[in-house]
Amino acid sequence: MRKRNKFKHGVYLLLALAMLLYALPKLSLANGPGWVFGFGVVWSLFAFMVIAAHLHFIIGVDEEKTKRLEAVRKAKLEQWQSKWKEETRVTQRS
């Protein structure tokens, strides 16, 4: 399932890049301040954000973060279990 998701995000990334490369020369960014210039800047920033989001997923930053969080969860669980076992031993001795 992971490879299919990465493939899907790869296709979307390529589509976003193609859209940006097609539209960037047509956007009027040389007129200076104004509505047309503002639209071009906002549209370009949005396209770059979409591209960055897909790259973030493809590179697998989320996977690394998930692995680190899982390691923390395991350590906390082991700590809780050892504390619980110790408390159980103390109660049984009493």
Domain count, the chain: 2
Assign residue 34 a region (left: φ > 0; alpha: ψ between -120 and 50; beta: otherwise): left
> Do 55 and 41 share a structural domain?
yes
> Do 15 and 28 share a structural domain?
yes
Of 65 and 9, more confident: 9
> Do 37 and 80 share a structural domain?
no
Question: For the chain, what is the mean pLDDT?
Answer: 85
10 exposed, middle or buried (CB, 10 Å; 0-12, 13-18, 19+)?
middle
Residues 68-77 have pLDDT tens digits of: 888 999 999 9
> Do 69 and 41 share a structural domain?
no
- pLDDT reading at 7 higher than 70: yes
Residue 2 has what pLDDT?
62
Q: Which domain holds residue 82?
A: 63-94
> Do 74 and 40 share a structural domain?
no
Distance, CA of 75 to CA of 81 (rounded, Å): 10
Which of 57, 46, 59, 53 shows the shortest CA–CA distance to 19? Answer: 46
> Do 69 and 51 share a structural domain?
no
What whole-number percentage of the chain has pLDDT above 90? 36
> Do 31 and 10 share a structural domain?
yes
Residue 33 parent element (H or E): none
**How far separated are the first and last CA of the chain, in Å rounded?**
53
pTM over 0.85: no
> Do 71 and 26 share a structural domain?
no
What backbone torsions phi and psi does residue 29 show, to the nearest 5 degrees? -105, 0
> Do 75 and 52 share a structural domain?
no
SS3 25: coil
